[in-house]
Amino acid sequence: MFQFLNSGDKKNGAILHIKCLKKWTPSVLIILLLSILNLNALAQKINAKYELNIKPATSEIKIDGDVSEQAWNDAELASNFFMVQPMDTSFAKLRTDVKI
């Protein structure tokens, strides 16, 4: 607890006690923590609404690195990825195409 002597009020010799410091400290810490968490939730990522529709394969797929099967032709293409490290502010330097 902190005590401050009010030298301007010599008649009463008033000592002001600051008890609210102990009361307010947990509340201030909780508000600060929630504010920091809220800022993270409000920060929008560039690709936050990116969506890829995955369809079941219509024909057999042989895992051999050859994408000439009809199922690969029907698959949706994902490309134009964003860099994540060190910052997510630009497209990736190397182009990658993905079919799922």
Q: Is 57 left (phi over 0), alpha (psi -120 to 50) or beta?
A: beta
- In this structure, are 63 and 96 located in the same domain? yes
Residue numbers of the domain that contains 78: 46-100
Q: How far apart are CA 80 and CA 54, in angstroms?
A: 18
Q: How far apart are CA 81 and CA 83, in angstroms?
A: 7
**3-class secondary structure, 98:** strand
- In this structure, are 79 and 98 located in the same domain? yes
**Interacting residues of 16 by C-beta distance below 8 A, sequence separation 6+:** 3, 4, 5, 6
Q: Across-strand partners of 5?
A: 15
Residue 88 CB: number of other CB atoms within 10 A? Answer: 11
- In this structure, are 22 and 38 located in the same domain? yes
Per-residue pLDDT of the chain (100 residues; tens, 9 = 90+): 455 555 555 444 444 445 555 666 777 788 877 777 666 655 666 666 777 788 888 888 888 888 888 888 888 888 877 776 766 667 777 788 888 8
- In this structure, are 52 and 99 located in the same domain? yes
- In this structure, are 51 and 98 located in the same domain? yes
Global pTM reads 0.41
If we measure between CA atoms, which residue out of 47, 62, 56, 68 comes closest to residue 100? Answer: 56
